[in-house]
């Protein structure tokens, strides 16, 4: 699904005449705090996290502590692409976009703990 959204980002930038920036859109290594590096139409760097479920729009999704910390550090440059109703066979689904500032208003419920002795 990340590749579909990379193509979406590249089209957005190309349509705006920002061909040089479209060529810089890329996926990043796991653990970075986001999935896709891109730019907005004002040529600012943006960090995109992609969350995908096969279920509907109301289905909760999970974020790692690393993703949440990156969101808190860069809320003005952070975007969530929330993919739902994902069909693996057809490799398509619906999605919406939330900004980092909108995400900061979401309810984050801790559900996992690391325990050591």
* pLDDT tens string 79-96: 999 999 999 888 888 999
Q: What's the pTM?
A: 0.89
Task: Please state the rounded mean pLDDT for residues 5-22.
Answer: 96
* pLDDT tens string 24-58: 999 998 888 999 999 999 999 999 999 999 999 99
- Please state, rounded to an integer, the average pLDDT across all residues of the chain: 92
Among 44, 34, 35, 41, residue whose Cα is nearest residue 11: 41
Token look-up 């550090």 returns 73
Virtual torsion, Cα 57, 88, 28, 97, nearest 10 deg:
-20
Provide, rounded to the nearest whole percent, the portion of the chain with pLDDT above 70: 99
- Please report the sign of the dihedral spanned by the C-alpha atoms of residue 35, residue 36, residue 37, residue 41: negative
Q: What is the pLDDT of residue 80?
A: 96
Angle in degrees, CA 55, 60, 61, rounded to 5: 95
Distances (CA, A) of 56 to 34, 42, 43, 94, 112: 23, 32, 33, 9, 24
Domains, in order of start, for the chain: 2-103 (3.40.1350)
């Amino acid at each position: 699904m990340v590749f579909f959204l990379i193509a979406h980002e590249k089209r957005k930038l190309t349509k705006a005449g920002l061909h040089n920036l479209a060529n810089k859109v890329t996926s990043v290594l796991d653990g970075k705090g986001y999935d896709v590096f891109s730019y907005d139409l004002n040529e600012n760097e943006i960090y995109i996290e992609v969350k995908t479920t096969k279920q509907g729009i109301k289905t909760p999704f999970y974020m790692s502590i690393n993703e949440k910390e990156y969101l808190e550090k860069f809320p003005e440059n952070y975007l969530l692409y929330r993919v739902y109703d994902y069909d693996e066979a057809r490799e398509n689904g619906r999605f919406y976009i939330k900004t980092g500032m909108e995400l900061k208003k979401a309810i984050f419920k801790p559900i996992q703990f690391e325990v050591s002795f």
